[in-house]
Structure 1
Amino acid sequence: MSRSKTKPIRLGGVLYAADTPERNALREFAENLVNRGWHVAGLVQEQAYDSDGQKIGLDAIDIRTGQHLPLSRPSKEDLETGSCGFDVRLLSETTRVLRAAMDAPADLLVIEKFGEREQDGRGLADEIVSAAMAGIPTLVAVPSSALEVWNEFSGRLGSLIPHDITSLANWWPKWNLYKELTLTIPDEKPKNIVIGDKAILIEGKDGCGITTNPLQKAQPDYQTNKSLKDLAKQTQDHLSPLDHAFGVAAILAYHNRYNLNGSDKSGLDHFKGRDETVLIAGNFPNDKAYANNSAFIAAKDALQHLSDYAYEGVILPSHTFSDGLLPSLLRAKGLAECVLVGPETPLCPNLFDYGIDVLSGRIIKDADKAAEMVAEGASPKELKPVSQYITLEK
């Protein structure tokens, strides 16, 4: 007997007022996600002007295609009577855009805005409810004057989000960082895969990734027809530790490229000499001056600790990425400046959008020698002779 999966409701009301400074924040947030490879759909609004620069009405813009849909073109009579000149014939077209997003489905649905028709249960109200119930992350621009109507409409099941880029980025689930790291990986075959007793190595066209073998058992004859992208997608599967480890190695093979440039400054020195309160999570040397005011804790205990205490900075070990703890730690740290350090750090600047400020990781400089060492039983930490550590800062 099969059992359907229930998806959580991810509905956000993005509150704005007449004096909100970042009125384009929702649109900019959506465009940023599109540029990073996410499937974002929906509608934003823009004032329409004629060739002389005179305002003539309001357009809805299909985020996916860029198509302009003229929502209103008020006539002189409309202006005199105070009518907005809304073209109800175009409502079916805007509905089609949103229905297509639900059929795909989109990674994010954006609707601007929760207007008078939606407040009355008309307009795009049904589409908002349908998307939310389908588990599609949905953001709706809500005027502050309609807050109580929105709360009643949404049943208070969603989040209320300030209309600014930082708040929208904080709303975006931290867990999405795993999928984020797969979006730009091409569908090409890995050059080499080696499974040693202690490590897994995957070599791509431009880089090499190594992570711990969770089974601690070599598989010298391992073969797969999966592409580097398909292997990387396995980071989203925590039911199979081996598949997840393959995903980590594939992500590192793509992002930690041989020709990547960065600072040779250690991420562990980022807070050195500064007075902020800094939490060092993990098995880092405790005789090092990380900051003028620092505390140490085991990585496994850091989540609860960060939920109870506030810090201005945190240093996290890269194994929190490979073991799946990183998203929860990024959520718990709040606004603390964050450094991710270690051999399993993906050197991908897109992670800066998830609350990481410094990425300090390694690049394998000799893939052939690394493959030989892994096959002979070397652990990821024992590959320093074929590694170069670099640091990227936000």
Structure 2
Amino acid sequence: MAQIIAVPCGADTDAALTALRDRLRAQGLRVAGVLQDRAPAPGRARQHMVLHDAAGGFSRVISQDLGDGAGGCRLDPGALEDIVQQVATGLPGADVLFVNRFGKQEELGRGFAPLIAEALGAGMTVIIAVADEKRAAFEGFAGGLARWSVPGAIQIDRA
């Protein structure tokens, strides 16, 4: 059954989504998509943003080093688009698509937005983290298809 399950972003979101992925895999569900964490950036005050393939295939830094004084978005859009293409190859046959965040790229119809639509069209469940400041944009994107939950409460029935 196609559905979008949105989870609010918090301090433990990344770890909670990873635990959810592990639980769903243990139940025999096939997962695709990406999960996020942070990695040290030697000599820098801010850590790297790293995306990991939910199916275990790759890890990649998606942040640009703009220097310690930079205050803007550090996302490398090219790296994100490359990852979306990698995830797309593993989407057929998956039951669940994990998207680490609904961000500016998705808000603009780029990033994971097309893959989310493809997954829903294939009858998949999409699980996505949404920050408070992106909630209105996400609600507009989802068009009433999303329900909100917390990772520990998510249950997915096998079709």
TM-score (norm 1): 0.37
The offset of 1:21, in angstroms, is 5.6
**Corresponding residue of 1:10:** 3
| Separation in structure 1 between the aligned mates of residue 109 and residue 101 of structure 2, nearest angstrom | 13
**Corresponding residue of 1:307:** none
The offset of 1:46, in angstroms, is 0.8
**Corresponding residue of 1:168:** 154
Contact in 1 for aligned 2:51/2:61 (Cα 8 Å): yes
Matches within 5 A, 1:275-314: none
| Amino acid aligned to 2:114 | D
The offset of 1:140, in angstroms, is 0.9
**Corresponding residue of 1:90:** 79
SS of the residue corresponding to residue 102 of structure 1 reads: coil
Contact in 2 for aligned 1:74/1:84 (Cα 8 Å): no
| Separation in structure 1 between the aligned mates of residue 133 and residue 65 of structure 2, nearest angstrom | 24
CA separation of 1:70/1:95 partners in 2, compared to 1, >3 Å: closer, same or farther? same
The offset of 1:158, in angstroms, is 2.4
2:49 is equivalent to residue 58 of structure 1: yes
Q: Percent identity?
A: 23
**Corresponding residue of 1:153:** 141
2:96 is equivalent to residue 113 of structure 1: no
Contact in 1 for aligned 2:31/2:55 (Cα 8 Å): yes
SS of the residue corresponding to residue 84 of structure 1 reads: coil
Could you list the runs of 5+ residues in structure 1 that have no partner in the other structure?
A: 1-7, 180-394
The offset of 1:41, in angstroms, is 1.3
Residues 300-336 of structure 1 deviation map (CA, whole Å, 9 limit, x = unaligned): xxxxxxxxxxxxxxxxxxxxxxxxxxxxxxxxxxxxx
| Separation in structure 2 between the aligned mates of residue 51 and residue 32 of structure 1, nearest angstrom | 33
**Corresponding residue of 1:81:** 70
| Separation in structure 1 between the aligned mates of residue 133 and residue 147 of structure 2, nearest angstrom | 17
CA separation of 1:67/1:98 partners in 2, compared to 1, >3 Å: closer, same or farther? closer
SS of the residue corresponding to residue 80 of structure 1 reads: coil
| Separation in structure 1 between the aligned mates of residue 45 and residue 22 of structure 2, nearest angstrom | 26
| Separation in structure 1 between the aligned mates of residue 151 and residue 89 of structure 2, nearest angstrom | 27
Contact in 2 for aligned 1:108/1:136 (Cα 8 Å): yes
| Separation in structure 1 between the aligned mates of residue 32 and residue 89 of structure 2, nearest angstrom | 9
CA separation of 1:69/1:115 partners in 2, compared to 1, >3 Å: closer, same or farther? same
| Separation in structure 2 between the aligned mates of residue 21 and residue 59 of structure 1, nearest angstrom | 16
Contact in 1 for aligned 2:40/2:48 (Cα 8 Å): yes
The offset of 1:95, in angstroms, is 1.3
Contact in 1 for aligned 2:32/2:96 (Cα 8 Å): yes
Matches within 5 A, 1:94-243: 94-103=83-92, 105-161=93-149, 163-165=150-152, 167-169=153-155, 172-173=156-157, 176=158
SS of the residue corresponding to residue 123 of structure 2 reads: coil
Within the candidate set 15, 39, 48, 2:30 is matched to 39
| Amino acid aligned to 2:144 | R
CA separation of 1:82/1:63 partners in 2, compared to 1, >3 Å: closer, same or farther? same
| Amino acid aligned to 2:21 | A
Residues 119-146 of structure 1 deviation map (CA, whole Å, 9 limit, x = unaligned): 2222211111121122111111111222
CA separation of 1:82/1:98 partners in 2, compared to 1, >3 Å: closer, same or farther? same
Q: CA RMSD in A?
A: 2.4
**Corresponding residue of 2:60:** 69
Aligned length: 158
**Corresponding residue of 2:19:** 28
The offset of 1:51, in angstroms, is 6.3
CA separation of 1:15/1:69 partners in 2, compared to 1, >3 Å: closer, same or farther? same
SS of the residue corresponding to residue 85 of structure 1 reads: coil
TM-score (norm 2): 0.84
Higher relative contact order (CA 8 A, sep 6+): 2
SS of the residue corresponding to residue 91 of structure 2 reads: helix
| Separation in structure 2 between the aligned mates of residue 89 and residue 158 of structure 1, nearest angstrom | 28
Residues 182-228 of structure 1 deviation map (CA, whole Å, 9 limit, x = unaligned): xxxxxxxxxxxxxxxxxxxxxxxxxxxxxxxxxxxxxxxxxxxxxxx
